[in-house]
Structure formats: structure tokens, C-alpha cells
Amino acid sequence: MLRVLVCIPHYFRRAAEDSGVANGSNRDTLAARLSQVSYCLSQLTAVLGSVRFLMGSPGRIAHEQVIPVAQKVGGDVVMVSAPDNHLFEELGGAHGFQGVLWPGPPRQLGYHCRRVFARHAGHYDFYLFIEDDTTILDPAFFRKVAAFYRAHGEDCILQPNRFEIFSHYQRGWRAYLDQPAFPVHRVAEQPGPATLTLPDFDGEVLFHKTTDAMSGAYVITDRQLRRWMDQTDFHAPAPADLAAGLDPIEITQFPLGGSLPVYRPAPQNLDFLEVHHVPNRLSGLKTPSRKIREHLAPILQASALR
């Protein structure tokens, strides 16, 4: 069984006059944020659950059967937050996560996630960092990651694509984010093949090398973690990065600080490896929303004529 350690930076300022946007939280109400975080945790723990359940009946409701089926992936979930500014009490223990409080700067919670990983080096196959409003829906996610590294080794990084559901005329459309990224969200170009491939049930999956390294999540192997732990900026942001005005919330998301070539599934294979940004907020901003609707107009018109 593949073993995964998930670490989630989590912040929600509880003071009524400030929802926490200054520290990377958002403007949602407590109820909305609680709903989003709860949903994300439920999906993650379902992907990592030790069993699935096969339900059926030989013909009568009273004889319904529930059969446990072992999964090929398991693991643990840790949420790292700031004292007094979290939703641990509201979430309760039902979600199966371990809450860790860290009194350092809230914008550097992601660095404490790295320290959690370091304390458990050697005990897991993969280490997943993921924001508290982002989740995994694909139960084969980690098996796909394992297949990629078996084929191409661990001297490169596989990043998932991040998507939102853009709602328009009571229909949902997948909108993928982060490509191309803003310049401050990119890493330096690293040597490596421009493309990599992996067999899939409907043909070869193509991966493009990219400098767009941020997707609200990263997943690394144990060997990659140990390599990263030797880098000077593993435990805290480099002074030069802070002097350049880079945001610790953002740079903490670059796996291995961009020191290895980064690959993502190419546009024709976007959904091969993906994470869902649950608030679906970015695609709804004024400019991207308008441009998406412009592209959808002829599609919807043609659909209405059929």
C-alpha cells in the first residue's frame, strides 16, 4: 500500500472586523469557509481511507449487503494553523485530521508544513501539501503519481493541474488555472526533456516541462523530501526572496524551490492529474468570466439548435 502524509496550512481570522484576507484567508463567512474546508477534508480522507464499501442487495432491502474492499492507498492528514485563528473546534474530530498550532507568522504556515514532513521523513511514500480550500477527487491520484516516477525517476517534479467549476446557464464547465502563471509564480527554467509521456487507457499522456510551478498543491516523494531538507530555504523563506517582495504564502508552494524540472499534464491531458479549487472564485472574476462566456456563446448557441 502507498502511504501518504498530507499537510494543510489553514488560517481563518475569527475577529469579526477582519475575515483574514490579510493573511491568506478569504472574505467568506465562517459558515462558508467551514463548509469548504469540511468538504475538502472529507474528499481527501475518502481518497486515503483504508477501505471502500461495496453496497448491494440480493433483492430485498432488509438483506442489503455492505462489503469492505481494501484500498491501495492510505495515509494521514495534518492541519497546521495559527493559535486562535482556525476552525478546529467547528470541524471536530470527525474528519480524522491532526491539528497542529504554530505561533509563527501566519503567512509562513506552509514552512511549518515542511517541518512536519521533515519529522516524518522515511515513514511515507509521498508527501502532499495542499491548501485548505483545495482537494483531490480522483482516487487514482497517487497511483498515477507513482506510475510517473516509476517511468521517469525522481529527478523531476510532477505537478497537478488546478481547476474550478465555472457555472454558466445552470451548466458547469471546467476552467483550469495557473497556466501561464504570473511571473512571480514561476520558477527558473531547469534542464530536462521538453516533454515526457506515460501510457494510459486511451493512449499516451503527454507532460510538458513548465516554469508554472504553483497549483495550490504539490506532492513529492520521500527521496525528494530528503533532498529538499538539505536546501537552505527549506525551513524559512530566503532573505533575498523576502527582499525581492515575494510572498511566503506563494513561494512556499514551489516544490523543492524550483530546483528540479517541473512537469504538468499537457492541455490535451489536463484532467490526468488535477486538484479542485473548491470556492471556484478565480474563474468568476470579471475579466476571466467575461472571456469564458465569450468562448461559450457559440458553443451554447450551436447546442440549442440541435
pLDDT at residue 19, rounded to an integer: 47
Furthest-apart CA atoms within the chain: distance in Å: 69
What per-residue confidence (pLDDT) applies to 186?
84
CB-CB neighbours of 158 under 10 Å: 24
Question: What was the pLDDT predicted at 20?
Answer: 47
pLDDT on residue 185: 77
Ranges of beta strands (E only) in 136-232 are 157-158, 161-168, 171-176, 195-200, 203-210, 217-221
Per-residue tens of pLDDT for the chain, all 306 residues: 999 999 999 999 887 545 445 544 556 789 999 999 999 999 999 999 989 998 888 777 777 888 899 999 999 999 999 999 999 999 986 668 999 999 999 999 999 999 999 999 999 999 999 999 999 999 999 999 999 999 999 999 999 999 999 988 788 999 999 888 777 778 888 999 999 999 998 899 999 999 998 999 999 999 999 999 999 889 988 888 887 778 898 889 999 989 999 999 999 999 999 999 999 998 989 998 999 999 988 888 777 655
Q: How far apart are CA 165 and CA 274, in angstroms?
A: 13
Distance CA 55, CA 249 (A): 43
> Terminus-to-terminus CA distance in the chain, angstroms?
48
| CATH classification for the domain delimited by 2-51+66-305, as one of 3.10.450, 3.90.550, 3.40.50, 1.20.120 | 3.90.550
pLDDT at 16: 56
CB distance 211 to 239 below 8 Å = no
Residue found by looking up cell 513548465 in the block: 210
Residues 288, 129, 104, 242: is their CA dihedral positive or negative? negative
User: Residue ranges of the domains in the chain?
Assistant: 2-51+66-305
Closest CA to 78 of 3, 5, 4, 2: 5
Sheet holding 2-10, edge to edge: 97-101, 73-81, 2-10, 126-130, 217-221
